[in-house]
Structure 1
Amino acid sequence: MSNDFYQISIKPYAAIIIKICRAYTNSQEDFEDYYQEVCLQIWRTRNNFRGQSDWSTWVYRLALNVSLTLLKKKKNNPQLFTSEFPQTEDVESSPVFADEALNDLYDAIKRLSDVDRGVVLLYLEEKSYQQIADITGTNPNNIGVRITRIKERLKKLMDGKVN
């Protein structure tokens, strides 16, 4: 992967790639593997991008698909992955991981279904319902209802009312 490609096509979207990978992993090692695999897949599939959507939509969709694929592999081969998120200096210094309230939110998000995790992350990135539908491959009419249900579930999870 060339440095130019990384600087132009991946680095501007690193924050959302990090957020998506974080939502689907429980260890620093897994997080790094997911992030690296997402970047690799963006580079490998760059010539498949037809411009029918924004590049950011392409990146979001790839990040979600790669994360879901790796999560499925993890569930099928749990012995290949670790399950604890070690507290290292890198994790604590990262703005995505440093805030305790944010960590609580991520803990709640991790308890959602795989698809709902992706939807709520996109919602938190202030994507439109149409963009969320394009990225997740669903109907935009259902996104509003789904987001309302997700918010209710997250509130219950964060208030400790649901296991």
Structure 2
Amino acid sequence: MSARHPQQSFASLLHEHRRIVFKVAGLYSRSAADRDDLAQEISTQLWRSFDRYDPARAKFSTWMYRIALNVAISQARRWRDADRFEPLAAHHLETVGGGEPIAEQDDRLTALYAFIGQLDPLNRALILLYLEDKGYPEIAEILGISETNVATKISRIKQKLRGQMVAAETTAARA
């Protein structure tokens, strides 16, 4: 990180890792407008915290996920408390992935996103990081929980997902 030009360093790092902001904002928002507002709030909080970022302690992406998820989870709680929160629905599929539309939406992908949308904010963050191929140590560091807790929660989420997918396939086969 350049001490002489922190704004340039921040802009460069933010640009390089911008998909993190869009993924988190897309997963925790209900509409394109909410996603844009949340992405802006995440970016603002990243800038406010940038002077405390220490590259010796964490990769930038790890630090960025931690800030982005904390902001998103706080916002999701405010929306829920204001009775504005709704589960992830089909229209959210367009926003997850950095604002790039998903070309094909098969039934299993739609069911996966519906399942993720039903999770509480912490478990939603956990599964997002797992699906991003983050290792348990990095997930634990980002979320501030133990690796054992990460492994246990992921196992429970996967088990619950399997059950829901089997139930959905059974229902579809009967129809």
Q: TM-score, normalised by structure 2?
A: 0.75
- CA displacement 1:22-47 (0-9 Å, x = unmatched): 22112111111111111111111100
Moved over 4 A (4+): 1-4, 81-87, 90-94
Report the Cα distance in structure 1 between the residues aligned to 2:26 and 2:130, rounded to whole angstroms.
16
Structure 1: gaps of 5 or more residues = none
8 Å contact from structure 1 (residues 129, 144) kept in 2: yes
The alpha carbon displacement at 1:5 in A equals 3.0
Q: Which residue of 2 aligns with 1:121?
A: 128
Deviates more, 1:98-107 or 1:23-32: 98-107
Q: Matches of residues 77-156 of structure 1 in structure 2 within 5 Å?
A: 77-78=82-83, 94-95=99-100, 97-101=102-106, 102-156=109-163
The alpha carbon displacement at 1:112 in A equals 1.1
8 Å contact from structure 1 (residues 28, 86) kept in 2: no
8 Å contact from structure 2 (residues 89, 113) kept in 1: no
The one-letter amino acid of 2:52's match is N
Report the Cα distance in structure 1 between the residues aligned to 2:119 and 2:90, rounded to whole angstroms.
22
Report the Cα distance in structure 2 between the residues aligned to 1:38 and 1:103, rounded to whole angstroms.
26
Report the Cα distance in structure 2 between the residues aligned to 1:26 and 1:98, rounded to whole angstroms.
20
SS at match of 2:118: coil
Q: TM-score, normalised by structure 1?
A: 0.80
User: Size of the alignment, in residue pairs?
Assistant: 158
Q: Which residue of 1 aligns with 2:70?
A: 65
1:24 partnered with 2:61? no
CA distance change for structure 1 residues 63 and 107 in 2, over 3 Å: closer, same or farther? same
The alpha carbon displacement at 1:14 in A equals 2.0
The alpha carbon displacement at 1:136 in A equals 0.5
SS at match of 2:58: coil
SS at match of 1:110: helix
SS at match of 1:45: helix
Q: Which residue of 1 aligns with 2:3?
A: none
- CA displacement 1:84-125 (0-9 Å, x = unmatched): 9796xx859944544414444222111112111111111111
Structure 2: gaps of 5 or more residues = 1-5, 169-175
The one-letter amino acid of 2:62's match is T
The alpha carbon displacement at 1:157 in A equals 3.2
Report the Cα distance in structure 1 between the residues aligned to 2:89 and 2:121, rounded to whole angstroms.
19
SS at match of 1:50: coil
The alignment-based identity, stated in percent, is 30
The alpha carbon displacement at 1:138 in A equals 0.3
